[in-house]
Amino acid sequence: MAIEDLFRQDVKVINIGLDSFRESLEKTGTPVAQVDWRPPLPVPPQSWLRLEAHREAIASANQEAVNRVLAGKPVLTGLGRALDCVPGMRPDLFLHAGPPVSWQRMCGPMRGAVMGAMIYEGLAATPEEAEKLAAGGRVAFAPCHEHAAVGPMAGIISPRMPVFIVRNETFGNCSYSTMNEGLGKVLRYGAYSPEVIERLRWMEETLFPALARCLDRTGPIDLRHIIAQALHMGDEVHNRNRAATSLLFRQLAPGLARTADSPETAAKVLEFINGNDHFFLNLAMAAGKAVLDAARDIPASSLVVAMARNGTDFGVQLAGTGGRWFTGPAPVPDALFFPGFTKADANPDIGDSAITETAGLGGFAIAAAPAIVQFVGGSVADAVNYTTQMYEITLAENKLYQMPALDFRGTPTGIDVLRVIETSILPFIDTGVAHREPGVGQVGAGVLSAPPEPFQAACAGLAETLAEPSSSA
Amino acid sequence: MAIEDLFRQDVKVINIGLDSFRESLEKTGTPVAQVDWRPPLPVPPQSWLRLEAHREAIASANQEAVNRVLAGKPVLTGLGRALDCVPGMRPDLFLHAGPPVSWQRMCGPMRGAVMGAMIYEGLAATPEEAEKLAAGGRVAFAPCHEHAAVGPMAGIISPRMPVFIVRNETFGNCSYSTMNEGLGKVLRYGAYSPEVIERLRWMEETLFPALARCLDRTGPIDLRHIIAQALHMGDEVHNRNRAATSLLFRQLAPGLARTADSPETAAKVLEFINGNDHFFLNLAMAAGKAVLDAARDIPASSLVVAMARNGTDFGVQLAGTGGRWFTGPAPVPDALFFPGFTKADANPDIGDSAITETAGLGGFAIAAAPAIVQFVGGSVADAVNYTTQMYEITLAENKLYQMPALDFRGTPTGIDVLRVIETSILPFIDTGVAHREPGVGQVGAGVLSAPPEPFQAACAGLAETLAEPSSSA
């Protein structure tokens, strides 16, 4: 081709990286093929060299880890009191969301939830008394995640609280989560007013025995099946659980009618579940936890087995680094705020609910639930793009969890921290937003990308577990 | 531009009409912009001239008609026995799907359903006796549609059958439909074995009083609200009703637990509904009927108020042509057949369920339920295309009924028979498939386009109602 021909032709551009170049060209009417590329997230060069030297071992460990995740079969087997069934639970122990945090570093809504739980437990009569006792060390704190449990938002699990018991039938491990209280003024968003405590008591005295008796009669409920259906029905089972809650409700209702201590109890329990489209959320979380815990403790694996936030720190755990937490500051989500509230009222990101994204659901499956993106001003195409990006940082597609909008492609599953580093694509997470002060409750719902620091730290942490490459290598 | 420049440039083509030209060009790598165009369906020129002369009157009548459709508010108010509540019902009258048809012209599955209903009514002891009595004129037949009712598939409504009562709150008219029996060997697909009759009796003796008592206590249920939600949850409320059934179930369950004559009855009724994802179908149909009946009898309107099939004929009624039916032969659907069956076993299209498409749902809203298209080998893009085509032949978009895959665009609503003629685009319909012999039942499910003849006849029929244009016009 002669050089003058080149200038006679229309210009065709392949743009790599920065979107602003593409946008300028498109404004001039020039066709542009965009190649998504960003510089990798910085990690210490010696860490990266060590990881590079172990690429094969890491790949093989990751294959094992993600195979375990895909093989997991979470079923709801029953309910119990936390003190009776959660491993390592003690009468003076309160579990919370996210990585470890002291009372001193705890955010407002988590403090509020601790105060409410102390009143609920009968340890304090007033919020003031509860605050004083908590600050004085009356109870110990530990992450839910370190006790096979997960909790949304503040995620407080206190000893007498009833919990769902979810068993991973493939591997035999169990996970635990509280029952969802509903929206608005609820403990998990840091509210502790009398109505909050009263609802928790009703859940303990009426809802818990009714559901426990029903499940005793009907046997385990396959949560994987409900989640798979729900993804065909507009849920991503994090910020949208209407379909999953409906399907669970359908499975529970006949047994509840049969086993409740009275028709009125059955009706009240059914009304409570029907009144809360998020009732399934805590089960989606427990299902994710049960599945991901089976992939823990696989040396050299860079698979993320937990992403969790305590409202102060965002924490990550890997299959290859045992119980170690890698943390960074929790960001404030982009959200649609309830009337009267703004981003200035919002607490930084909080809750164990990112276990759904860690398991390939929630924000990773948002193409299944475009209504959530529309909620914060986006379109269906945005939802599809978010999910499509997540394939770049995950190890597998879950053929059981399919999304109609992607022609029934499986959800992107199993975050590889090395891919996060290499692509600079951070996990996309759906979330609720709590008021930053204790005692207020929910102020909105939204989406965010995980912060980079925990993934950078996790990468370096994984390198530390691997042998230094021999100089001859 | 010099003529030689034209030949130096790449060829760019706009192709109008036949797809095969586009395909040939695309094979050579030539860019083609396709303009969908087909010759109009033939109608007698004198009819078309008369319609053209009344374009303004038709447009204004259509505006009124479609406004009524959009304003309709169908609510489930209760249940009753057909003889007690369906207008014009008589002890010797059997209602059926589609336009009028005699026993002699009735297809196999409709005959089978009539025979089953005669056994159910106690008019005959055996299928043979029922057949003989029916052929001898023991009962009279009339279309459901002429009695404010609709029935899926054979659509038989016999006098003692319980029916849902749906009221259009905006206009005060009511519609009626039976309760859905479930899938497989069921009366509406032409089966009449003892299990079919036994189920009908249980529905009459247990399901009917339980639901009626529940609705008496809880008050009317807004069907529009359920349908709107269900479209966000993967249903088009014709061939897919899982979400709508779930949402209805959630609304009914507490009331059923409270009002059933025993916990066991409540449990059995809940199990029956939970066991049939199509339970909502008959309510979606009654909702469509209640809404469309309010748009009847508007002189000059070319709005389609009914599309219905009796398994022999496909019939259409218009807002501007009163009770007159315009018919043509019912086609055999493209379907996925159950194991052991083929298209040779399939009865031509049957049922009043195309009332859902007439109301802008079902095949018109299939972009909301791509799983149905996948079922017969299509993709999500096909589903979106089918719905998008339907905007070409409809008068409005229903802002209450939104489809996520089209960025929450409203469903194409209100078929204009003139647009069908002008564009040659025929209504796209989801359907079940009955075996052509009586007594067998369902053999598959699929999709089809309506046949052209009823729409051509309706067009000519509407012209007959209009004054001949004056020669000076």
Task: Count how many domains chain B has.
Answer: 3
Same domain? For B179 and B319 the reply is no
Q: How far is B291 from chain A (nearest CA, A)?
A: 26
Greater pLDDT, A36 or B135: B135
Distance CA B141, CA A298 (A): 72
Q: For B380-403, what is each residue's pLDDT tens digit?
A: 999 999 999 999 999 999 999 999
| Kind plus residue range of the DSSP H or E element containing B415 | strand B409-415
For residue range B338-354, what is the model confidence (pLDDT) as tens digits? Answer: 999 999 999 999 999 99
Confidence of residue B217 (pLDDT cuts 50, 70, 90): very high
CA distance to partner chain A, nearest, from residue B224 (Å): 17
* Residue B192 resides in a domain: yes
A140: which 2 tokens? 């110990």
Q: Are residues B238 and B352 in the same domain?
A: no
pLDDT in tens, A52-70: 999 999 999 999 999 999 9
- Work out the widest C-alpha separation in chain B, in whole angstroms: 89
* Range in A37-51, A399-413, B407-421 with the lowest mean pLDDT: A37-51
Nearest chain B alpha carbon to A378 = B407
pLDDT given at position A371: 86
Alpha-carbon distance A272 to nearest alpha carbon in chain B (angstroms):
9
Chain B interface test: which of A207, A233, A382 (most B C-beta within 10 Å): A233
Q: How high is the mean pLDDT of chain B?
A: 93
Rounded CA-CA distance A295/A316 in Å is 14
Q: What is the mean pLDDT of chain A?
A: 93
Same domain, B110 and B181: yes
| C-beta of residue A352 within 8 angstroms of C-beta of residue A145 | yes
- Shortest Cα distance, chain B CAs vs residue A226, angstroms: 12
Closest CB to B263: pick one of A250, A263, A408. A263
Out of A217, A251, A286, a domain closes at A286
Asked which of A10-24, A339-353, A413-427 is least confident by mean pLDDT, the reply is A10-24
pLDDT of A473 above 50? no
Which of B257, B286, B315 finishes a domain?
B286
Give the pair of three-digit tokens for residue A203: 């859940």
Q: Can you tell me the ipTM of this complex? A: 0.91
Asked whether the beta carbons of residue A254 and residue B274 sit closer than 8 angstroms, the reply is yes
Q: Is residue A57 part of a domain?
A: yes
Residue-wise pLDDT for A169-223, tens only, equals 999 999 999 999 998 789 999 999 999 999 999 999 999 999 999 999 999 999 9
Q: What's the pLDDT band for B183 if we cut at 50, 70, 90?
A: confident
Last residue of a domain, one of A239, A256, A286: A286
Q: Residues of B at the A interface (Cβ-Cβ below 8 Å)? A: 229, 232-234, 242-243, 246-247, 249-251, 253-258, 260, 263-264, 266-268, 270-271, 274, 370-371, 374, 379-380, 404-405, 407-408
Domain presence at residue B347: yes
Would the CB atoms of A270 and B247 count as touching at under 8 Å? no
Cβ distance of A246 and B251 shorter than 8 Å: no
- Average pLDDT score over residue span B456-468: 96
Do both B306 and B266 map to the same domain?
A: no
Whether residue B305 is found in the same domain as residue B434: yes
pLDDT at A135: 97
B10 has a pLDDT exceeding 60: yes
Q: Is 50 exceeded by the pLDDT of residue B26?
A: yes
B453: phi then psi, degrees, rounded to nearest 5: -55, -45
Do A129 and A210 have their domain in common? Answer: yes
* Summary count for chain A: helices (H), strands (E): 18, 18
Per-residue pLDDT reduced to its tens digit, B57-91: 999 999 999 999 999 999 999 999 999 999 999 99
Beta carbons of A232 and B229 less than 8 Å apart: no
Q: Percent of chain A having pLDDT more than 90?
A: 85
- Global pTM reads 0.92
Say if residue A169 is in the same domain as residue A313.
no
The answer to whether the Cβ–Cβ distance between A246 and B246 falls below 8 Å is: yes
Whole-number pLDDT of residue A25: 65
Instruction: Supply the pLDDT for residue A441.
Output: 87
Residues B464 and B220: their CA atoms lie apart, in Å, by 42
Say which CATH number the domain at A453 has.
3.90.1700.10
For B299-337, letters b (16+ CB in 10 Å) and e give ebbbbbbbbbbbbbbbbbbbbbbeebbbbbebbbbbbeb
**Cα–Cα distance, A248 to A180 (Å, whole number):** 13
Residue B299 within any structural domain of the chain: yes
Residue A16 and residue A145 share a domain: no
Residue-level pLDDT at A472: 46
Using an 8 Å CB-CB cutoff, list chain B residues near A233: 233-234, 242-243
Which range of residues forms the domain containing residue B17?
A: 3-35
Give the whole-angstrom CA distance, residue A183 versus residue A162.
Answer: 19
pLDDT of residue B214: 98
In a domain, B169, yes or no: yes
Residue A263 and residue B266: Cβ atoms within 8 Å? Answer: yes
pLDDT of residue A38: 78
B246, B267, B407 ranked by CB distance to A258: nearest: B267
pLDDT digits (tens, 9 = 90+) for B410-445: 999 999 999 999 999 999 999 999 999 998 889 999
A246/B249 Cβ within 8 A: yes
> Number of CB pairs < 8 Å for A and B?
107
Distance between B241 CA and the closest CA of chain A, angstroms: 11
Query: Which range has the worst mean pLDDT, A469-473, B86-90, B321-325?
Result: A469-473
Domain assignment present for B249: yes
pLDDT at A255 over 80: yes
Q: Which of B213, B250, B379 to mutate to test the interface with A (most CBs of A within 10 A)?
A: B250
Per-residue pLDDT, A148: 98
Q: Are residues A113 and A247 in the same domain?
A: yes
Q: Is it the case that residue A367 has pLDDT exceeding 90?
A: yes
Kindly provide the b/e burial profile for residues B358-367, where b requires at least 16 CB atoms within 10 angstroms of the residue's own CB. Answer: bbbbbbbbbb
Query: Per the domain annotation, does A432 fall within a domain?
Result: yes
Tell whether A96 and A8 lie within a shared domain. Answer: no
Partner-chain contact B249 A254, CB within 8 Å:
no
In a domain, A472, yes or no: no
Q: How far is A403 from chain B (nearest CA, A)?
A: 10
Say if residue A107 is in the same domain as residue A210: yes
CATH of the domain at B87: 3.90.1710.10
Residues B179 and B198 in one domain: yes
Pairing outcome for strands A313-318 and A149-150 = unpaired
Q: Mark yes or no for CB contact B250/A254 under 8 Å.
A: no
